[in-house]
C-alpha cells in the first residue's frame, strides 16, 4: 500500500463519546485545562512510555503553546488532522476531566 492509499484511522465510538463529554466539560469549566496539563506533566515523568504516547504529549504541548483559549483548544482536539487524531488516540491524557463513574456506555 503506498503512502497516498493509506486509510485514516477512525476514532473508536467509545473514545468519540468520551472525547465529546470531555469537550463539553472543558467548555463548561475552562479551569479543567489544568487537569490536562497536570496529566501531561505526570506522564512525561514516566520513564517507559510508547513513542506514540510521547508524541501525543508533545503535540498537546504545541496546542497549549499556541493558545490558551478553551474554544480553540477544543477545536484542535476535534480537528480531523494529524494533531487532532493524535490527541484523540490517547484518552488517558484527559483522565479526571469528567467523572468516570458517570460515563457508562454499554458495550
Q: What is the structure's pLDDT at 19?
A: 93
Band of the pLDDT at 9, cuts 50, 70, 90? low
Domain boundaries of the chain, sorted by first residue:
30-98
Q: What is the DSSP string of 42-66?
A: HHHT-S---HHHHHHHHHHHHHHHH
Q: What is the structure's pLDDT at 102?
A: 56
Cα distances from 83 to residues 5, 26, 31, 80, 107, in angstroms, run 20, 18, 22, 8, 28
Q: In sequence order, which residues have a C-beta less than 8 Å from that of residue 8 and are 6 or more positions away?
A: 85
* Residue pLDDT, tens place only, 42-86: 999 998 989 999 999 999 999 999 999 999 999 999 999 999 999
Q: What is the structure's pLDDT at 107?
A: 45
**Percent of the chain scored above 90 by pLDDT?**
73
In this predicted structure, the answer to whether residue 27 has a pLDDT above a threshold of 80 is: yes
Q: Is 11 left (phi over 0), alpha (psi -120 to 50) or beta?
A: beta
Tell me which residue of 45, 79, 46, 48 sits closest to 62, measured CA to CA.
79
Q: What is the structure's pLDDT at 4?
A: 60
Amino acid at each position: 500500500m503506498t503512502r497516498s492509499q493509506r486509510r485514516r484511522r477512525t476514532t473508536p465510538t467509545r473514545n468519540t463519546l468520551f472525547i465529546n463529554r470531555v469537550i463539553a466539560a472543558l467548555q463548561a469549566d475552562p479551569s479543567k485545562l489544568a487537569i490536562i496539563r497536570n496529566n501531561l506533566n505526570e506522564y512525561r515523568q514516566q520513564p517507559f512510555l510508547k513513542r506514540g504516547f510521547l508524541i501525543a504529549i508533545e503535540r498537546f504541548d504545541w496546542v497549549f503553546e499556541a493558545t490558551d483559549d478553551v474554544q480553540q483548544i477544543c477545536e484542535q482536539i476535534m480537528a480531523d488532522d494529524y494533531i487532532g487524531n493524535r490527541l484523540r488516540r490517547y484518552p488517558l491524557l484527559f483522565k479526571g476531566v469528567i467523572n468516570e463513574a458517570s460515563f457508562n456506555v454499554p458495550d
